[in-house]
Amino acid sequence: MEISVTDLAIPDVKLIASAPFKDARGFLAETYRRDDFAALGIDCEFVQDNLSGSSAAGTVRGLHFQIAPYAQAKLLRVTRGRIFDVCVDLRRSSPTYGRHVAIELGADSGVQQLYIPVGFAHGFCTLEPNTEVFYKVSNVYSPAHERSLFWADPALGIAWPVGVQAVVLSERDKSAPPLASLGGHFA
């Protein structure tokens, strides 16, 4: 598997691109092989796959995370449409605590994936209708351990591509706490 890894503004968050094999039929790409990822320093055991579909452009899902013992690393890619993806560092001992990294990902941008380690809140805004996001997680979903961070917290300084009046949100995401009220879930 030929892959390239790019560290983003927060180096623990990585953009991963797989080189597809192309022929007259289209292409084939290996999107995950544990030994190759481990050789790159991403040594997670992914235990659950999720597929998120959003009908409307301007849908924000997040910013979500799970706490110990069900904290999750994620490996995600867009299978249809485009997203503005955001990862916020919640690791108290990190020099980038409270900062975020944002990147646009799309199904048309080749075989790109985003790796988000444990200790980050994650969310995205759909940029096109009928967008689908596929992601692997390193721990199973646990409703009792799920937490959220307010997506539009001014302290985060995220330049979302949708305004507060136009966003499509769940009720839970509308009432998520800001960073200052979150508490320390990650060392």
CA distances to 81, 114, 125, 177 from 48, rounded to whole Å, are 22, 16, 22, 27
Active site residue 185: no
Is 64 an active-site residue? Answer: yes
Q: Distances from the Cα of 42 to the Cαs of 5, 32, 33, 163, in angstroms?
A: 11, 11, 11, 35
Annotated catalytic residue, options 64, 100, 115, 122: 64
Instruction: Note every long-range contact of 178-184, with CB atoms under 8 Å and residues 24 or more positions apart, other chains counting.
Output: 178/149, 178/150, 178/153, 179/88, 179/98, 179/149, 179/150, 179/153, 179/155, 180/155, 182/90, 182/147, 182/149, 184/92
Give the per-residue SS3 of 86-135. Answer: EEEECECCCCCCCCEEEEEEECCCCEEEEEECCCEEEEEEECCCCEEEEE
Q: Which of 100, 115, 122, 135 is catalytic?
A: 135
Token pair in block for residue 47 = 């235990």
Q: Which residues are catalytic?
A: 64, 135
